Amino acid sequence: MGRLQDKVAIITGGASGFGEGMARRFAEEGAKVVVADLNAKGAERVASEIGDAAIPVTVDVALRDEIEAMVEAALQAFGRVDVMVNNAGFTHRNGSLLDVDEDTFDLITAVNMKAIYHSTQLVVPIMERQGGGSIINTASTAGLRPRPNLTWYNASKGWAITATKSMAVELAPKNIRVNALCPVAGETAMLASFMGEDTPEIREKFKSVIPLGRFSTPLDIANAALWLASDEAGFITGVALEVDGGRCV
């Protein structure tokens, strides 16, 4: 029996990076997985490689009707939703806060913040009927110890952490646990934007503030998410778990 045996998990941003790592790791531990992503081909690839335990769903998490369709697809395929992982994220390029245009700012808030609002409103009634569930929000060390030049992204992740804690308190009577992951920079598609440009020198600069001396990996984040989603973390809620090699110490 796996640690998530017979549980159903929706993972946004599941076609690559941290989300792909979670989808694969959850399936290894017995979960049925909805691989949800704006990248349809990527979601199809990950789901097909996992096999019968996964389905792909194309979703723009900035749009409520698409999140509704995603949740409905999970119910039609697997009959329930036990774990909701709000992992999809967006950032502006590393640089002055004055140079971020309004459209980019709006997309950051829609993907990193409002998507959590929409998915919560849709999955909480389902989880309540089932007797409980787990919501995991991918935040960031940026929400705890922000770097300069990523101000609006940092702010969105600080919001996600505060929302997680408030959700945890409010939803505890319904036996719905809510936690956040706070990864340090990792080998994902957004790394170049975080750094501003991808050069060996800039990589070393970013690594130099991580005591364990490396970026995070999808497996690092997936293992942390697996624990938070599992019954082993049954008494854990409202936590912003730093998966950061010591960055926030």
Token digits for 225? 């998410």
Q: What counts of helices (H) and strands (E) characterise the chain?
A: 9, 7
Identity of the residue numbered 70: M
- Quick check: 69 and 63 in contact, CB under 8 A? no
Report the DSSP beta bridge partners of residue 176.
Answer: 133
Amino acid occupying residue 181: L
Q: Is the dihedral of CA 114, 116, 119, 122 positive or negative?
A: negative
* Active-site pick, 153, 157, 218, 225: 153
Dihedral pair phi/psi, residue 58, rounded to 5°: -85, 125
**How far apart (Å, rounded) are the C-alpha atoms in residues 61 and 122?**
13
Q: What are the residues whose beta carbons fall under 8 Å from the beta carbon of 77, sequence distance 6 or more?
A: 32, 34, 55
Told to judge if 117 belongs to the known catalytic residues of this protein, a careful annotator would answer no
Q: How far apart are CA 192 and CA 190, in angstroms?
A: 6
Q: Which residue type does 108 have?
A: I
Q: Is 75 helix (H, G, I), strand (E, B) or coil?
A: helix
Catalytic residue positions?
A: 153
